[in-house]
Amino acid sequence: MSESNNKFGNIYVSHHAIATIACQSTLESYGVVGLAAKNLVEGLAQVLVKDPTLGVDVHYDGQTIKIDLYIVVEYGTRITSVSSSVADNVAYQVEKALGIPVSHVDVHVRGLRISNPD
């Protein structure tokens, strides 16, 4: 959990809030079909409870944020270009919203999907 103090009081930002920002930024990126489960247990948990931060893992060490993203990419797009674009977009949006530096964003491509077979 991130904590910030100012003259008006304290501000606390949870990992869930950071993950939600990262999730929305990822889904807005070109070439991303969706987010994927990190492992089998998370995939089964998603069936039972719909979590909007599926496929996002946030680590905060008190100074910087590290984000791991697990995505599904549109078939026919360049995976390296999509991954780089997602990483840049997520880092920018999180830093813009929170004012906390993002050390790095790791993008793990879990699969490809064809959206229009015609």
Supply the range of the domain harboring residue 52: 14-113
- Residue 39 has what pLDDT? 64
Residue 114 DSSP label: -
Measured CA distances, 77 to 9, 72, 108, 111 (Å): 47, 11, 15, 12
Q: Is 1 inside any structural domain?
A: no
Residue 82 in any domain: the answer is yes
- Number of domains making up the chain: 1
Q: Is the CA virtual torsion 104, 27, 20, 99 positive or negative?
A: positive
Tokens of 87: 């990483």
Q: What is the pLDDT of residue 35?
A: 85
Helix (H, G, I), strand (E, B) or coil at 71: strand
Q: Examine residue 4 and state whether it is found in any structural domain, yes or no.
A: no
pLDDT tens, 22-81? 999 999 999 998 888 776 555 545 544 566 678 899 998 888 999 999 998 998 899 999
CATH number for position 89: 3.30.70.1350
What is the predicted pLDDT for the residue at 7? 78
Contact 67, 103 (CB under 8 A): no
Residue 55 domain flag? yes
9 within some domain: no
Alpha carbon separation from 78 to 55, 81, 82 (Å, rounded) = 20, 5, 6
Query: From CA 111, how far away is CA 9, in angstroms rounded?
Result: 44
